[in-house]
Structure 1
Amino acid sequence: MTRKTHNKLVFISGIFNVLHPGHIRMFRFASELGGRLVIGLLKKENLDANILADAERLESLKAISFIDDVVMLNDLEHTLLTLRPDIVLKGNEFKSGHNIEQSIIQAWGGELVFSSGESTFNSTSILTSGSLQADFDLPSSYFSYIKRHNIQPSFIASALDQLSNLKVAVIGDIILDEYVDCDPVGLSREDPTIVVSPVEKKCFIGGAAIVACHTRSFGAKVDFYSVCGKDKKADWLIKELNDKGVHCNLVNDETRPTTVKKRYRSGNKTLLRVNEFRSHPLNTRAQNALLQAIESQIHEYDLIMFSDFSYGLLSEDTVQKIASLAEQHDVPMVADSQTSSQKGDLNKFRRMRLVTPTELEARQATNVLDSSVGLAQVVEVLINRLQPGNVVMTLAEAGAMVANKNSNQRPQLDSLPALNKNPVDVSGAGDLLLVTTSLLMIAECDVWHAALMGMIASAIHISTVGNEPINAQELRRYLHKMQPRS
């Protein structure tokens, strides 16, 4: 729906403690239902002590362009009788409960609508707002986040110092990323096909292998476990990984050539991607060799990082056996299971310290595919099902939702908006988010500190072509920018 019905008033009530992209989707949808959107904001005096002050929440709502007015709400029935809205909009999660609004608004023919707005999955990477420069400032929304969570730059600096003391196992699919820069020639006369001429080719480490490189670049010691073919591509990758200080434990499988993702690009745009791969599960010999190698070193690790690109290495059986080893030795685990050209399955990764799905991956894992179900509800279902300690759900150009599991309570939620909507190359941004956030959490940061730095690291990363590691020193340059503006 895109055209407003201008004679209708739409009403939404709630706490709106921290506005996140799910709220914005709902407000947008509400503004399309009628000509005027009014928000009823519940007063703090009737709420939990941790809720932000009325003035802060009111200011945040008034900054949203979809909202026409905000009224403080003490008595819902009185407010409804005064406003007489044509439509009362509530989130989809309230549909099966008791809704007192229904009996009130039916007196004048009002309608109760349940929806949380529409979802779009036009990207599965992190895209972050504004044009990223070599040295960028943080937007005001980041300072609000910093204040809410009492972010201490000195604490982050101390955690970055600790990364060199960590030893990490990265387990996942090894991929060679090949970029072919092309000059456009024109349009074929035989059929409507774009014709290009290759100019230059460059190869990059990809998949879980670049996750291992990012981890090593931050200073941690890294063992990388994967499976590859017996071919020149594997030889090139192994040399590059060794040169970057990553210790490789690769199982050879002659039935599985090393995976290659080839991108044809022109003018900073990808025209075509060709994937060369096999995705059948590991045979028993290869699986046993992988598990034995991990078991022999498991006692040395501070963290196990699963980076699953769904090319057959991390089957559910393999993940369960590795997870069992990790739990026996009290080694925390984090995971990312990508759905892009391949369909991932986050359900394999239970009881992780952190998972970092895209919205699409989270919805597939929870089977909440109805786009009208709000983001907060998707995160809550994901936490109940997979029992992760923390979730960072990426939302393409809308940034990310951050969630911390509270025992016997609903998860605490917040969001970080994007930093650059004009990236040069988004490939691998999610990988760097996983690495940065999980390493800082192992180094004693909470998820709020760690996810903030993960978003900054990803923003730095997407300003250049190719999946090249960044280091802790590049992150340190942004710590002094976290001081409140005068």
Structure 2
Amino acid sequence: MRKVLVQGNFDVLHAGHIRLLKFAKECGDKLIVAVNADKSMVARSRVSEELRLEVVRSLECVDEAHITTSTPEEEVERFKPQIVVKGKEFESRSNPELAVLNRYGGKLIFGSGEFESNSDHFFRRSKKPVPGMDFTEARGFANRHSIVADDLHDLFGAMKSLRVLVIGEVIVDEYVQGTAVGLSQEDPTIVITPNRKDTFLGGAAITAGHIKALGADHVILASVLGEDQTADYARSQITDYKVEPLFFTDQSRPTPLKTRYRASNKTLLRVNQVRQHKISQELQAQIYKSIESQLNKIDLLVFSDFNYGLLPQPLVEKIAAACQHRGIKLVADSQTSSQVGDIARYCNMDLLTPTEREVRVSLNNPDDGLVILAQKLTEVSQPKNLVITLAEEGILIHKPNHTFDDWENDRLPALNTNAVDPAGAGDCFLAASSLALVAGANIWQACYLGSLAAACQVASLGNTPLSCQVLEQAVKDSFS
């Protein structure tokens, strides 16, 4: 492991510091930052050493940071880094640590910090909901359906005993952050300079991650991967999420990888490396046999279908029938985006959560209003509860009666008016609302929790599991 050491005051952390530390991190594997103690500084600092250390630790590129009263030479002697990084302005000055580095073959590198990007990207994502939450409509919804905070907090306790199996495609999402340089003279194309790449688990994997992070006792993820480095990343990450993998290998397809190129908080281009052919009947049989052996251990099964061939209709019907025979709750989401899905093929589910476009594509109905769409989908697939997600407009909840000849409708607007990245909202809503339903919530309570979870999720870039603590705090805030 190549250790990199940076030492400094970091009196008021600014973009130059961030660029230098980002550069230092790229020079090795582990970045250690020594923050000079108050008594070691020549000029009195405007910020205490504790606060300066806290801010440095908040940077994602920093692996380790500490307060020091040592000289640069003593710090190098202590950690013996392969590389020490200093600002370009030190290149023409005396650098006493160089003698120590030379004794064991270390290097001193001067970084100019000359790259541009939004420095906000380099801070660790907050675990607290960010400003932008608007609970005005949520309170009205809660009043209409007699939702109180104590009942919702009780649900969190009930969630802790739930066992869940999620089946669907694992997708790895890459975000390449860059600076827009200008328009190419050779092609009518925007040129960007990449500054940073972030990688996240998506698809069914993040749904499983959300469910585990929100408090479920045990979560199993069933999926198909290729034989590639993307699969290696998925296996490693899903273990970090404390989700049990039930993975199968299909040599005929890569592990789905989606790359977004972004600049100035906007996505410029998406590149999808996927295959959409159906898995073989032999592989379907293997998957069904493995899932059937788990059914006596679970309370909920979630179909997280991204329509890349993992869930052919015969497999869906066999799994659903086996679950219904055992009284296991069933939830389904079937994505239509650049690929085409059919949410209506998921019949007799306890909850369906399609987008408006997914309903219209499934019914081949571009004309009818939302309520009529909901009624028609309910007639076809007969779910116990239907929630149509409407992006920044929120959700429409359609609850039919047991004979499907009457229903209740209500809507809940999106609760975060300051969304940074809406990509994971649907996955998070599905996870939270499904858990709540199985924990004993009615559909109104489940959708309230799901909407709060989605609002928290879109507050940061990338799709990472939402913790139970963040959602509980959002519940508390929504009633205060």
Correspondences of 1:329-368 after superposition (within 5 Å): 329-368=326-365
CA distance in 1: counterparts of 2:290 and 2:401, whole angstroms: 35
- For 1:273, the equivalent position in structure 2 comes to 270
Matched, 1:169 2:152: no
Aligned-residue offset at 1:137: 5.2
* Aligned counterpart, 1:378: 373
- 1:179 to 2:175 alignment: yes
Task: Identify the match of residue 391 of structure 1 among 372, 386, 390.
Answer: 386
Give the TM-score normalised by structure 2: 0.71
- How far does residue 145 in structure 1 lie from its aligned partner after superposition? 1.0
| Deviation of the 1:199 alpha carbon | 1.3
Amino acid at match of 1:410: D
Distance 2:232 2:146 in 1: 47
Q: What's the counterpart of residue 316 of structure 1?
A: 313
Q: Where does residue 442 of structure 2 map in the other structure?
A: 446
Q: How many angstroms apart in 1 are the aligned matches of 2:151 and 2:412? A: 20
Shift of 1:166: 0.5
Aligned partners of 1:138 and 1:158: how far apart in 2? 24
Q: Secondary structure at the match of 1:313?
A: coil
Secondary structure class of the residue paired with 1:249? strand
In 1, Cα distance between equivalents of 2:398 and 2:283: 36
Computing the radius of gyration from Cα coordinates, the structure with the larger value is 2
Instruction: Map 1:67-466 to 2 at 5 A.
Output: 134-135=130-131, 138-220=134-216, 221-370=218-367, 373-408=368-403, 409-466=405-462
> What is the deviation of 1:406?
1.2
Question: Quick one: distance in 2 between partners of 1:414 and 1:430?
Answer: 18
SS at match of 2:175: strand
Match of 1:250, as an amino acid?
A: F
How far off its partner does 1:478 sit?
Answer: 2.5
Match of 1:351, SS state, is: coil
1:296/1:481 CA distance change after superposition, 3 Å: same
The separation in 2 between residues aligned to 1:144 and 1:160, in whole angstroms, is: 22
Report if aligned partners of 1:176, 1:261 keep a CA contact under 8 Å in 2: yes
Return the offset for 1:290.
0.7
State the distance in 2 between where 1:155 and 1:136 align.
Answer: 25
Q: Distance in 2 between matches of 1:349 and 1:381?
A: 14
Unaligned runs of 5+ in 2: 1-127
* Secondary structure of 1:165's aligned partner: coil
| Cα drift, residue 452 of structure 1 | 0.9
For residues 263-312 of structure 1, what are the alpha-carbon distances to aligned partners after superposition, in whole Å with 9 as ceiling and x for unaligned? Answer: 10111111100000111101122111111110111111100000000100
Could you tell me whether the CA contact under 8 Å between 1:380 and 1:410 is conserved in 2?
Answer: no
Superposed displacement of residue 133, structure 1: 6.4
Give percent identity, aligned residues only: 40
Q: 1:170·1:208 contact (CA, 8 Å) conserved in 2? A: yes
CA offsets 1:120-150 (integer angstroms, 9 cap, x no match) = xxxxxxxxxxxx9615554322222111100
Secondary structure at the counterpart of residue 423 of structure 1: coil
What SS class does the counterpart of residue 423 from structure 2 fall into? coil
Equivalent positions of 1:47-66 (< 5 A) are none
Q: Which amino acid aligns with 2:170?
A: I
Map 1:460-475 onto structure 2 (within 5 A): 460-475=456-471
Letter in 2 for 1:407: H
1:195-237 CA distance string (max 9 Å, x none)? 1111111110011111111111112110100001111111111
- The structure whose RCO (Cα within 8 Å, separation 6+) is larger is 1
- Asked whether the equivalents of residues 310 and 338 of structure 1 are also in contact (C-alpha less than 8 Å), the reply is yes
Aligned to 2:114: none
Distance 2:129 2:188 in 1: 38
Distance 1:424 1:479, change over 3 A: closer
Residues 1:137 and 1:459: Cα distance change in structure 2 (over 3 Å):
closer
Matched letter for residue 417 of structure 1: P
Alpha-carbon shift at residue 471 of structure 1 (Å): 1.3
SS of the residue aligned with 1:205?
strand
The answer to which of 352-361 and 472-481 deviates more is 472-481
Q: Which amino acid aligns with 1:467?
A: N
What secondary structure, in the 3-state scheme, does the structure 1 residue paired with 2:191 have? Answer: strand
- Give distance in 2, aligned partners of 1:168 and 1:359: 27
Query: TM-score, normalization: structure 1?
Result: 0.70
The AA in structure 1 aligned to 2:271 is V
Deviations 1:39-96 (A, max 9, x none): xxxxxxxxxxxxxxxxxxxxxxxxxxxxxxxxxxxxxxxxxxxxxxxxxxxxxxxxxx
Whole-angstrom CA distance in 1 between matches of 2:212 and 2:133: 27
Question: SS of the counterpart of 2:324?
Answer: helix
Shift of 1:190: 1.9
1:432 Cα deviation after fit: 0.6
Distance 1:455 1:462 in 2: 11
Structure 1 residues 245 and 227: CA distance shift in structure 2, 3 A? same
2:476 is aligned, of 472, 475, 480, to: 480
Unaligned runs of 5+ in 1: 1-131
Q: State the 1:404 CA deviation.
A: 1.2
> Does the 8 Å contact 1:308/1:314 carry over to 2?
yes
Q: CA deviation at 1:422?
A: 3.6
Aligned residue-pair number:
351
- CA shift for structure 1 position 481: 3.3
- 1:325 is displaced (CA, Å) by 1.1
- Deviation track 1:309-338 (CA, whole Å, cap 9, x = no partner) reads 010001111101111111121111000001
Distance 1:229 1:418 in 2: 36
Counterparts of 1:416 and 1:432, CA distance in 2: 16
